[in-house]
Chains A and B, each alone.
Chain A
Amino acid sequence: EVQLVESGGGLVQPGRSLKLSCAASGFTFSNYYMAWVRQAPKKGLEWVATISTSGSRTYYPDSVKGRFTISRDNAKSSLYLQMNSLKSEDTATYYCASTIAAITPFAYWGQGTLVTVSS
């Protein structure tokens, strides 16, 4: 059974940093692109970052580029999101999701972890 379990969310002050983790099991992690998708309270879905199978390629929208860094450890079947210079608008539930190919994205999702940016 495929499982994606996020952790690391919490309350953080504006301008501070936070690192999210996603533990994967039930599939060959190293064969999948991985991504983070977020959802602000009562809002829609927003793609945040994607990383290639080896980790050599990463992609971000302008809203987080230069502040967020996605990484992975294939030996540990784990995905990470380092979030720096956090803003109130980064408040959201963050989901990790797996992708085997661009035409079939986000087949599996975690349960999400809530990040609240507030003073």
Chain B
Amino acid sequence: DIQMTQSPSSMSASLGDRVTITCRASQDIGNYLSWFQQKPGKSPRRMIYGATNLAAGVPSRFSGSRSGSDYSLTISSLESEDMAIYYCLQSIQYPFTFGSGTKLEIK
């Protein structure tokens, strides 16, 4: 199975900060990497697919990038509504596997 190692597990940042969350894949997954946002008591929402593609309706301050087997989700200027848990997902091979999540809090 492909392991997705996500870091950090939690972080705190100030409004307006640039924030980056990373996932590392244990095997080659190409661009089959998605990012999801989950707010308390809500269903997950897809933010990024294909490693770099912004999902419909997602603010442009969110972006995805890839460097080798490392994948990053970046928020260019943090807003209060971005407080949530973020998960990565690989979908190149079954079983699909999620990262363990990053809890993003606002200072």
Contact of B96 with A107 in the complex, beta carbons under 8 Å: no
Q: What DSSP secondary structure best describes chain B's contact surface? A: loop
Q: Which residue of A lies closest to B87 (CB)?
A: A45
Selecting from A9-17, A75-83, A97-105, the interface stretch reads A97-105
Contact partner of B43 among A46, A61, A105, A111, CB < 8 A?
A111
Contact of A104 with B44 in the complex, beta carbons under 8 Å: no
Q: 8 Å CB contacts to A: which residues of B35-82?
A: 36, 38, 43-46, 49-50, 53, 55
Interface presence of A27 (CB below 8 A): no
Residues of chain B within 8 A (CB-CB) of A45 are: 36, 38, 44, 87, 89, 98, 101
* Chain A residues within 8 Å of B, Cβ to Cβ: 37, 44-47, 50, 59-62, 95, 99, 102-107, 109-112
The 6 closest A-B pairs by CB, nearest first: A61-B95, A47-B96, A109-B43, A104-B49, A105-B91, A59-B94
